[in-house]
């Protein structure tokens, strides 16, 4: 079998690289003598002229540095201030600058130049995420004929949204240079096919195949996941280590865990929780919301705005409802260690996973994997998370409708143990069958 060459924006660093993708790809990289390539996270004075090997670890890793200008325009600019909002249904938040696009293309061209000398004819290349959309196009220009796959971790926009992007047609043309494009959900596959056909004039060959001269490309859904068994064991062990105050607390704990990103719908969630408290005075003091949200992409205006809005809302709701013995919302603006998170999920009665738009949402999967099978908590899941296509035994909600979310919250808090167990069993069965190992294997099998 040929080597796997994985290319992502950030390389997993450290002597023992970790994270979902490492779990998914580590074994294949090790078995095939493969290589992972990505940016180091450090800033250099000059654009990188060569790749640098990272010592140690179970598989080979090569990295390069970005300059400050590249970081600002390729990463914070085109990737996170243009593509991210557009792909999450927020074209209104796009910050279009032609410099962003120019540097984005330049960086991708340079990555292709750095990678091309490493390639052997039978290598399979797997490119990760929206930072690297043009990479196959650039590698093809340099003569690469290898199978090249792409996985997009975000949603994909349909033609109406794509029209708002000045170079939407070019984005579709980049995509056509991959042999296989993996998306999170069937809704994304439909949107991508429509965009390829309507915006770029690709011809529909059926069964997810499109032709855009001179190439043919397959678009299919490969929903990403977690290692559910591993997370279950972690949660079971870590539950014992939680501070006594949390476990002994007889209040019902509702948990929310999200980067503080506008796509996650945290303000909507707070309003819905406020609506619930407004309606159900009998639940005052008996329920509290623990929202754990580390700040992300600080310095970008839309992220500064969401931080201010959530701080304001939690302050207002606490001011309105709290009493000397009870604070309705605990809002923590910090990352917490993975194992603590696992224990907290298990200690929670309800999870509010209510993004306005999300590629997959792994928090939903982690919450379910962490539950005690005998007495599991209830997952309230937005219909706009990619996870909703797989996790239909969750309590499905529309995050835009605070009254519906409040009604569902009562249903979740009052749900019988029998029903909770039934829903949990169905969800956990899906998670253990279609776990992260299934994800990488099925994608790589399809890439051939």
> Quick one: tokens of 14?
């450290």
Strand partners, 290: 255, 330
Q: Beta strand pairing status for 215-221 and 180-183?
A: parallel
The site for ligand ADP (CB under 6 A) is made up of: 257-259, 292, 294, 335-336, 341, 360-363, 366
- Tell me if residue 37 falls in helix, strand or coil: strand
- Say whether 72 is catalytic: no
- Rank residues 35 and 257 by Cβ distance to ligand ADP and give the closer one: 257
Nearest to 333, CA basis, from 357, 317, 309: 309
Q: How far is the CB of 141 from ligand ADP (least distance, A)?
A: 31
d(CA 331, CA 190): 37
- Say whether 211 is catalytic: no
Q: How far is the CB of 258 from ligand ADP (least distance, A)?
A: 6
Catalytic residue among 123, 188, 261, 358: 358
What is the edge-to-edge ordering of all strands in the sheet holding 378-382? Answer: 329-332, 287-292, 252-257, 350-353, 378-382, 395-397
Q: What is the 3-state secondary structure (H, E, C) of 286-313?
A: CEEEEEECCCCCCCCHHHHHHHHHHHHH
Q: How far is the CB of 177 from ligand ADP (least distance, A)?
A: 25
- Rank residues 175 and 257 by Cβ distance to ligand ADP and give the closer one: 257
- Rank residues 335 and 396 by Cβ distance to ligand ADP and give the closer one: 335
For residues 74 and 82, the answer to whether their CB atoms sit within 8 Å is no
Q: How far is the CB of 341 from ligand ADP (least distance, A)?
A: 5
What are the φ and ψ backbone dihedral angles of 80, each rounded to 5 degrees? -100, -10
- Rank residues 1 and 336 by Cβ distance to ligand ADP and give the closer one: 336
For residues 376 and 347, the answer to whether their CB atoms sit within 8 Å is no
Q: How far is the CB of 375 from ligand ADP (least distance, A)?
A: 22
Q: How far is the CB of 364 from ligand ADP (least distance, A)?
A: 7
- Rank residues 19 and 58 by Cβ distance to ligand ADP and give the closer one: 19
Q: How far is the CB of 315 from ligand ADP (least distance, A)?
A: 19
Nearest to 361, CA basis, from 293, 264, 268, 219: 264
> Quick one: tokens of 193?
């096919």
Degrees to nearest 5, angle at CA 115 with 86 and 111 = 35
Nearest to 412, CA basis, from 394, 431, 389: 394
Nearest to 329, CA basis, from 289, 276, 277: 289
Catalytic residue among 153, 188, 227, 268: 153
- Rank residues 238 and 258 by Cβ distance to ligand ADP and give the closer one: 258
> Quick one: tokens of 315?
């302050």
List Cβ neighbours of 319 (8 Å cut-off, separation of 6 or more): none
> DSSP letter at 386?
G
Buried/exposed code over 237-255 (b: 16+ C-beta within 10 A; e: otherwise): ebbeeeeeeeeeeeebbbb
- Rank residues 39 and 173 by Cβ distance to ligand ADP and give the closer one: 39
- Rank residues 284 and 338 by Cβ distance to ligand ADP and give the closer one: 338
Q: How far is the CB of 334 from ligand ADP (least distance, A)?
A: 7
- Annotated catalytic residues are 153, 358
């Amino acid at each position: 079998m040929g080597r796997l060459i994985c290319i992502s924006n950030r390389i997993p660093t450290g002597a023992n690289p970790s994270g979902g993708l490492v779990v998914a790809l580590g074994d294949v990289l090790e078995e095939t003598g493969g290589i992972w390539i990505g940016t180091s996270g450090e800033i250099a004075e000059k654009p990188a002229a060569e790749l640098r090997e990272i010592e140690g670890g179970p598989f080979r890793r090569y990295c390069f540095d970005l300059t400050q200008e590249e970081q600002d325009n390729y990463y914070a600019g085109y990737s996170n201030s243009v593509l991210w909002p557009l792909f999450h249904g927020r074209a209104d938040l796009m910050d279009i600058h032609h410099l962003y696009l120019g540097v984005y293309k330049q960086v991708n061209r340079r990555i292709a130049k750095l990678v091309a000398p490493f390639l052997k004819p039978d290598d399979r290349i797997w490119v990760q995420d929206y930072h690297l959309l043009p990479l196959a196009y650039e590698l093809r220009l340099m003569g690469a004929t290898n199978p090249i796959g792409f996985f997009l971790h975000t949603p994909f926009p349909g033609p109406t949204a794509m029209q708002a992007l000045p170079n939407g047609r070019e984005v579709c043309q980049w995509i056509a240079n991959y042999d296989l494009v993996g998306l999170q959900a069937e809704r994304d596959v439909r949107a991508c096919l429509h965009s390829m056909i309507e915006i770029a004039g690709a011809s529909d060959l059926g069964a997810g195949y499109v032709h855009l001269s001179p190439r043919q490309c397959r678009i299919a859904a490969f929903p990403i996941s977690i290692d559910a068994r591993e997370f279950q064991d972690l949660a079971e062990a870590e539950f014992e280590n939680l501070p006594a105050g949390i476990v002994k607390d007889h209040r019902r704990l509702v948990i929310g865990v999200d980067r503080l990103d506008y796509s996650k719908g945290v303000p909507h969630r707070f309003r819905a929780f406020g609506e619930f408290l407004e309606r159900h005075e009998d639940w005052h003091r008996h329920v509290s919301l623990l929202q754990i949200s580390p700040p992300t992409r600080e310095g970008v205006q839309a992220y500064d705005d969401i931080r201010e809005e959530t701080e304001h809302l939690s302050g207002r709701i606490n001011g309105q409802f709290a009493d000397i013995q009870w604070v309705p919302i605990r809002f923590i603006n910090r990352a917490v260690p993975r194992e603590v998170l696992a224990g907290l999920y298990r200690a929670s009665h309800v999870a509010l996973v209510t993004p306005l738009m999300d590629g997959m949402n792994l928090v939903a999967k982690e919450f379910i994997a962490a539950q005690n099978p005998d007495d599991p908590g209830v997952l309230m899941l937005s219909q706009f998370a990619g996870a909703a296509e797989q996790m239909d035994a969750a309590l499905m909600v529309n995050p835009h409708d605070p009254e519906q979310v409040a009604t569902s919250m009562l249903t979740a808090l009052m749900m019988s143990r029998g029903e909770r167990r039934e829903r949990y069993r169905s969800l956990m069965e899906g998670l253990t069958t279609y776990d992260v190992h299934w994800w990488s294997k099925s994608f790589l099998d399809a890439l051939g």
